């Protein structure tokens, strides 16, 4: 399925405005999908990811999470120092408001449309936060730094008991930013809370392995993660559709 793209502006509950990139499927969407960016902005890669999901039938929206400090922010993968101050300015209250704005936008176009979330790097943490914030069908987190304790974000470990949806986690076994202890902490918290989850570790992959614009791209891990992601989304979005229609 081909996709149609556009930029939209969302009103956030804190009085700010947030631009978002939208990719629509050619036909009736099977579900909505919130696509959360890496630290480098809603760049060409994130827009391409949104379009890929639209090609699978999802109404995909990628909100600009740095809209309060740097609207339209987009930097090279080699320029993390430019992204760092934008990340440091984020708050969980602000992110929750952004999540709700994106979720509400999807629902305003098709009320009751089962909606999931996916995110990469800091967006992986945001996707997990979305599962705590709005009634998602499911969430997918790729190498989400800051879910477990980290120097960058307040961790979510103590909040995972409040997850409203199943979560799939992807990690790189060679990720120098998120080590085995962090991965275990997330898995143990989900298990202790009795929350449904899937935990996937690619032993030879590094941080950012899914992004083909990064030096850490791992083609084998990315190729295997893609169908797993689609299957997880389809399973839970379809189940949510059936439940809504019951």
Q: If pLDDT is split at 50, 70 and 90, which confidence band does 94 have?
A: very high
- Whether the CB-CB separation of 138 and 168 falls below 8 Å is answered with yes
Domain that holds residue 180: 3-245
- pLDDT at 16 > cutoff 90: yes
- Whether the CB-CB separation of 110 and 57 falls below 8 Å is answered with no
pLDDT of residue 109: 86
Mean pLDDT of the region 144-172: 96
Produce one character per residue of 113-128: b if its CB has 16 or more CB atoms within 10 Å, e if not: bbbbbbbbbbbbbbbb
Which residues belong to the active site?
121, 175, 207
Structural domains counted in the chain: 1
For residue 77, CA distances in Å to 1, 85, 107, 212 come to 30, 15, 33, 11
Mean pLDDT of the region 69-77: 96
pTM: 0.97
Task: Tell me the helices (H) and strands (E) count for the chain, helix number first.
Answer: 6, 8
Mean pLDDT of the region 30-45: 98
The secondary element (H helix, E strand) that includes residue 118 is strand 115-120
Mean pLDDT of the region 67-86: 97
pLDDT of residue 245: 64
Handedness of CA 111, 112, 113, 119 (dihedral sign): positive
Number of Cβ within 10 Å of residue 64's Cβ equals 24
- Whether the CB-CB separation of 116 and 59 falls below 8 Å is answered with no
Mean pLDDT lowest among 26-30, 107-111, 224-228? 107-111
pLDDT of residue 112: 87
- Whether the CB-CB separation of 145 and 121 falls below 8 Å is answered with yes
The pLDDT tens digits for 167-191 are 999 999 999 999 999 999 999 999 9
Interacting residues of 227 by C-beta distance below 8 A, sequence separation 6+: none
The CATH number that applies at residue 176 is: 3.40.50.1820
Q: If pLDDT is split at 50, 70 and 90, which confidence band does 239 have?
A: confident
């Amino acid at each position: 399925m081909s996709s149609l793209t556009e930029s939209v502006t969302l009103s956030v509950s804190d009085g700010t405005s947030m631009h978002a990139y939208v990719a629509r499927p050619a036909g009736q969407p099977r579900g909505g999908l919130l696509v959360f960016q890496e630290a480098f902005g809603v760049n060409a890669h994130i827009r391409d990811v949104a379009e890929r999901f639209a090609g699978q039938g999802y109404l995909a929206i990628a909100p600009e999470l740095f809209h309060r400090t740097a609207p339209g922010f987009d930097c090279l993968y080699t320029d993390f120092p430019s992204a760092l101050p934008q990340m440091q300015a984020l708050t969980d209250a602000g992110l929750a408001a952004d999540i709700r704005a994106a979720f509400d936008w999807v629902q305003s176009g098709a009320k009751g449309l089962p909606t999931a979330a996916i995110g990469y790097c800091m967006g992986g943490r945001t996707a997990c936060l979305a599962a705590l914030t709005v009634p998602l069908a499911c969430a997918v987190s790729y190498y989400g730094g800051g879910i477990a304790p980290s120097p960058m974000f307040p961790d979510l470990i103590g909040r995972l008991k409040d997850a409203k949806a199943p979560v799939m986690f992807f990690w790189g076994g060679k990720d120098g930013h998120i080590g085995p202890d962090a991965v275990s902490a997330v898995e143990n918290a989900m298990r202790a809370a009795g929350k449904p989850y899937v935990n996937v570790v690619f032993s030879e992959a590094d941080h950012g392995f899914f992004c083909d614009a990064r030096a850490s791209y791992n083609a084998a891990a990315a190729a295997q993660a893609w169908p797993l992601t689609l299957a997880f989304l389809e399973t839970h979005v379809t189940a949510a559709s059936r439940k809504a229609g019951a």
